[in-house]
A and B are shown apart, each in its own frame.
Chain A
Amino acid sequence: MEIFGIPIQALFGQLLIGLINGSFYALLSLGLAVIFGLLNIINFTHGAQYMLGAFCSYLLLNKLGVGYWWSLLIAPIIVGASGMLIERLMLARLYKLDHLYGLLLTFGLALIIQGLFRNEFGSSGLPYRVPAELTGGQNLGFMFLPNYRGWVVVTSLVVCLVTWYVIERTKLGAYLRAATENPQLVQAFGINVPRMITLTYGFGVALAAFAGVMAAPIYQVNPLMGADLIIVVFAVVVIGGMGSIMGAIVTGFGLGIIEGLTKVFYPEASNTVIFIIMAIVLLVKPAGLFGTQK
């Protein structure tokens, strides 16, 4: 059986692969959405922080002998902590100014971080092995699914849904959302708003680092690995609606699939298709698919 000249089995394979790539888009755009939704900061350092996560796990393994599983926990904590430092020392001074200043600061930081790493490690990429427990794969009939990729999809889905639940359905999440709406009032109830904001930024950054650790065994650990990705991820966030948590998750996975299909039907356009969609969405629904006009 064929659809548009593509055997249906091949199509299933491509859909699954799209879902895998979508996992990374979802994880990264989720972090961005959390930071933008709750802090109103457009975090352009996100790609660099994703790269830092990957490098952190590379260094943990090669300098300290710490393996993948511990890295999955430790790297986000380290990178998240560095993010909190950035928030406290720099970003905190910009909240009263226009969005543009935060964007410029984080963009500059990204360039500096990537430059430093390129200087130190070169740009040709470093190897990182798939953990022994997840090597091999499953024959699904229509394709051979490497175990590690399966793990990526499941884990990122779980992380995304837990994050959504915490922010949208728990008391902690309610405080966070309230603090964005009216920080003075929340502060008056005895909640330390600046600390909560610092922690939120740290959490968003940790999500990026987490995605970086997940990516390390699949892609090269490379100083510029986040630089290309971040532009796509921004498009994902814009399409989903800036600051919408669910929007980021759904569009992340959805656009991964659309991109995957483009790779079959017209591969040359596979790295532009997301931007074409972004342009269309912005024309039709400027606030994004899941955003609300303020």
Chain B
Amino acid sequence: MKVEIVSADHQNKPDVGSQIANQWYDVDKVDAIVDLPTSSVALAVNEITRKKGKALLVSGAATSDLTGKACSPNTIHWTYDTWMLANGTGNAIVKTGGDSWFFLTADYAFGHALERDTEAVVQKNGGKVLGKVRHPLNTQDFSSFLLQAQASKAKIVGLANAGGDTTNAIKQAAEFGIVRRGQNLAGLLVFISDVHSLGLQTAQGLIFTETFYWDMNDQTRAFAKRFAPANRGIQPTMVHAGVYSAVLHYLKAIESSKTDDGSKVIAEMKRLPTDDPLFGKGSIRADGRKIHPAYLVEVKKPAESKGPWDYHKIRATIPAEEAFRPMDQGGCPMVK
């Protein structure tokens, strides 16, 4: 099978992303779009893909709406979502006594979804949300927001943001002595690349949920060994792994269905059980949600780390059936 790959930068802007998707589908005859970080962009491209009957395999974007009210017969949400993050991390923290929360939320689709899903988990477990503040995407300075979090006296400061926003918030929380003065941070979406950029000294003890860790078993380590040299020595995050796994399954589905028609291939992907070296055996639900176990991890102390990128220890495994939102609760019109 001859596969051609194109790529582009949507600059976190839904309008730019939509324009690229339209151009790819209409002019360049692209069959499938993969990864798509940034929820707002993913939601926009989700609609375009549905209209044009193509295929969308989402790994990087997080909003659980992609398999909820925005679910589509042309989209599969592969790696993780906001419900799964909230459920994994939120549950674990509330159950160990973190029952009052203050949210630092990125002010766009993803942050809102993550905050909403986490708030639901906190309240379901008897916890309280004492306050929240919405900060613009790509905020350099969190000190003002952290001071507000401190004043709220909440036990847990929940970071409903991602990437540079999360690392900046964690770094500055350390500086302002948030943790030393008795509050704890909950990073709701943290990637291993964030831990790397923070350094273990700052990130140690942070608890979060992910669906892939490179140092889990021989197969993941073998993948990491091939991945790192091609990517400036960095180890794969769950998003990278998800892209690999999703594309592999997509190609299998094309092979078995003998077509590259988007709607048909997605249907075939849902029919075939998934199996790959990175996520093991799994399946795709009717609402487009890929199902696999999730892992509650804790960042190691510097002394516990045996080498570069030896960052996480797995505290708990959340089985595939419990890790993601039950299909009947998402409000996806396709499964009613």
A→B interface (CB under 8 Å): 7, 10, 13-14, 17-18, 20-21, 122, 124-127, 129-130, 137, 143-144, 146, 148-149, 218-220, 222, 225, 228-229, 260, 263-264, 267-268, 270-271
Contact = CB atoms under 8 A, between A and B. Distances in A.
Contacts of A267: 107, 133-136, 145
B130 interface: no
B197 interface: yes
Given A127-B199, A144-B177, A220-B164, A13 B140 contact: no
B202 A17 contact: no
Given A144-B176, A264-B144, A129 B136 contact: no
Query: Which 9 pairs between the two chains have the least Cβ-Cβ distance?
Result: A263-B144, A127-B199, A271-B136, A125-B197, A146-B175, A17-B143, A124-B193, A13-B147, A17-B144
Nearest to B107: A268
A225 B193 CA distance: 17
Nearest to A144: B177
B167 interface: yes
Contact of B164 (A10, A13, A18, A124): A124
Interface string B153-171: 0000000000110011001
A10 B152 CA distance: 11
A152 B84 CA distance: 41
Contacts, number: 88
Contact of A10 (B141, B148, B176, B196): B148
A223 B136 CA distance: 20
Contact of A264 (B138, B140, B148, B150): B148
B135 A127 contact: no
26 contacts: A14-B147, A17-B143, A18-B144, A122-B232, A122-B234, A124-B163, A124-B194, A124-B196, A125-B197, A129-B199, A137-B177, A143-B147, A218-B141, A219-B141, A219-B168, A219-B171, A220-B171, A225-B140, A228-B138, A228-B140, A263-B135, A264-B148, A267-B107, A267-B133, A268-B134, A271-B136
Contacts of A222: 164
Contacts of A143: 147
Interface string B106-140: 01000000000000000000000000011110111
A263 B146 CA distance: 11
B172 interface: yes
Given A127-B197, A271-B136, A21 B145 contact: no
A245 to B, nearest CB: 25
A18 B143 CA distance: 9
Contacts of A271: 136, 139
A146 B144 contact: no
B38 to A, nearest CB: 13
B201 interface: yes
A17 B147 contact: yes
B143 A20 contact: yes
**For A149, A218, A220, A267, which residue has the most chain B Cβ atoms within 10 angstroms?**
A267
Given A125-B197, A268-B136, A220 B167 contact: yes
Contacts of B163: 124
Interface string B35-58: 000000000000000000000000
A107 B293 CA distance: 47
Contacts of B177: 137, 144, 146
A228 to B, nearest CB: 6
Nearest to A137: B177
A10 B147 contact: yes
Contacts of B139: 270-271
A11 to B, nearest CB: 10
B151 interface: yes
A229 B138 CA distance: 11
B181 interface: yes
A260 B140 CA distance: 13
Contacts of A220: 164, 167-168, 171, 197
Contacts of A218: 141, 171-172, 175
Contacts of B197: 124-127, 220
Nearest to B231: A122
B92 to A, nearest CB: 25
A137 B176 CA distance: 8
Nearest to A261: B144
Nearest to B147: A13
A125 B164 contact: yes
B267 interface: no
A231 B254 CA distance: 47
Contacts of B148: 10, 264
B198 interface: yes
B166 to A, nearest CB: 11
Contacts of A127: 197-199, 202
Given A124-B163, A124-B164, A268-B107, A229 B140 contact: yes
Contacts of B172: 218
